[in-house]
Structure 1
Amino acid sequence: MKNLRILAFVLILCAALLGGCRTAPIHNIELAPIINNSQSTRTLEEVKNSIIKAGYSLNWQMTDVSPGHLIATLNIRSHEAVVDITYTTESYSINYKDSTNLKHKGDTIHSNYNGWINNLARAINIELGQYNNIPQSS
């Protein structure tokens, strides 16, 4: 009976320790479509401005690298996430670039990162007027 109690304690302790890790596979957004209405097509500058405005609304620092390429950095307390955002007039992508204090290891990262990326994509789509085109997590 004593061995069962020890085993139960060890299992509960392991579950508690592993539950605190909260890592998940890195979620990138690949080629999310930009839907243009039939009356006009957005210019590359309009797409860039929508992405920058969306990022700023969520406290991302946006750096214009070249036409069709931004680098976005989010600092929350001691955590930092850096992503590459590439875009055309037809689609955009958000890809992991770097991080600090987010338990990045191989293809996994702290699960909050994926939430931040999904929020950024949602904000971009809202700025683009695409309320129904929210990329889903995989």
Structure 2
Amino acid sequence: MWAALVRNVDAAMITGNHSVANVEKAIVRAGTDLGWMMTKKSDKHIVGKLALRTHLAVIDITFDKNSYSIKYKDSTNLGYNGSSIHSNYNGWIQNLQKAIALQINIL
């Protein structure tokens, strides 16, 4: 298993004039399209879960109309040790970030 520093996304900027509701829709659509289970926890807060084989990744996504952040929350069978994690996790987060940007651009 290859370990890498945990990738978080801190305040990724959202361009354009979008409502919070539309940003939420874009985030949920992006995650769902990639196999994430997206659960709204409160206004401006979504928890994403990705289960692949015996692996589970859980993330917190916070957002407003100007930016969003993706933070590691929990995992199973990904070798998380407080700062490092299986390198596949970072790829999943990078793919999610790209998908969110795409969905926001087509709003």
Query: TM-score category by the smaller chain?
Result: over 0.9
Higher RCO (C-alpha 8 Å, min separation 6)? 2
In the TM superposition, structure 1's runs of 4+ consecutive aligned residues that sit over 2 Å from their partners are: none
- Which residue of the other structure, out of 24, 31, 55, is the alignment partner of 1:55? 31
- Residues 1-138 of structure 1 mapped to structure 2, 5 A cutoff: 21-36=1-16, 41-129=17-105
Local SS of the residue matching 2:96: helix
Q: Which runs of 5+ in 1 are unaligned?
A: 1-20, 131-138
Rounded to whole Å, the distance in 2 between the matches of 1:118 and 1:28 is 9
RMSD, matched Cα: 0.9
1:32 Cα deviation (Å)?
0.1
The structure with the largest strand share of the pair is 2
Number of aligned residue pairs: give it: 106
- What is the CA–CA distance in structure 1 between the aligned matches of 2:10 and 2:95, rounded to whole Å? 15
Shift of 1:106: 1.4
User: TM-score, normalized by length of structure 1?
Assistant: 0.75
Unaligned segments of structure 2, at least 5 residues: none
Larger radius of gyration: 1
| TM-score using structure 2 length | 0.97
How far apart are residue 98 of structure 1 and its match? Answer: 0.1
